Amino acid sequence: MELNLNELREFLDEKVIQYNTSNFIELDPVQIPHQFSVKEDIEISGFLTATISWGNRPSIVKNAKRMMSLLGNSPYDFVINHKDKHLDKIDGFVHRTFNSIDFICFIKSLKYLYHKKNGLEGVFNESKTEDSLQPAIHQLKKEFFTNAHPVRTEKHISDPFKGSAAKKINMYLRWMVRNDNSGVDFGIWKSISPSILSCPLDVHSANVARKLGLITRKQNDAKTVLELDSTLRQLDCYDPVKYDFALFGLGVYENF
């Protein structure tokens, strides 16, 4: 599909309007943090949901709801105030390769972040750069695994500095930072500009992006994320990641 920059912008802007609507929520994992109104509940439920966001969406939603139930549907209160005995009920939880051992580790690490590092927003805000949140994702992983933890659990947080596209965390950051006025993304992290967000890159969005000429790299990795950043910021320097909705919708719903 050969389009110049203005034609491409016009085409994708139309797709954003089509897919970035409140109807998006009911089938997407973002519905889980939408069950909450307290900032920290939204942050933590969103982070845990994003962490298990691979596989089919109904399965993700089902298991994310189970996670919230195990946390008494008060994720922040559970994280901050739990004692070891409260973690017994987590035993048996599993979503693909994320199991109860990982879940317990995440609860303990989140407690550390909220007690010592001003929470999730604090870590990302502290380590952001002028034009990127990818170094902050790297720093989050370091902070997250400061305490004793099983090595196997580290695989559940991606690191762009090791070449990962970090799709799940970039999606989570979109939820927290971007305010879309459509009720999908929350925009509760006012300390971070949406202009430095990166697009959550998966098979669907990457394939659509290649067909549109937004990226040329064949791999779906950290370098490709940077390439896509560069192109999308030419289309909209203030809100480049709104195009995630266009790429997703074209890939999943239109088989573009």
Q: How far apart are CA 143 and CA 27, in angstroms?
A: 32
Given a contact cutoff of 8 angstroms between Cβ atoms, the answer to whether 20 and 180 are in contact is yes
Q: How far apart are CA 44 and CA 38, in angstroms?
A: 10
Q: What is the largest CA-CA distance in the chain?
A: 60
Q: What is the pLDDT along the chain (256 residues), one digit of tens a residue?
A: 668 899 999 999 999 999 999 999 999 999 999 999 999 999 999 999 999 999 899 999 999 999 999 999 999 999 999 998 999 999 999 999 999 999 999 999 999 999 999 999 999 999 999 999 999 999 999 999 998 899 999 999 999 999 999 999 999 999 999 999 899 999 999 999 999 999 999 998 999 999 999 999 999 999 999 999 999 999 999 999 999 999 999 999 998 8
Phi, psi (rounded to 5 degrees) for 159: -130, 110
Element (H, E) at 51: helix 39-51
Q: Which amino acid is at 155?
A: K
How far from 242 is each of 171, 179, 191, CA to CA, in Å? 11, 10, 19
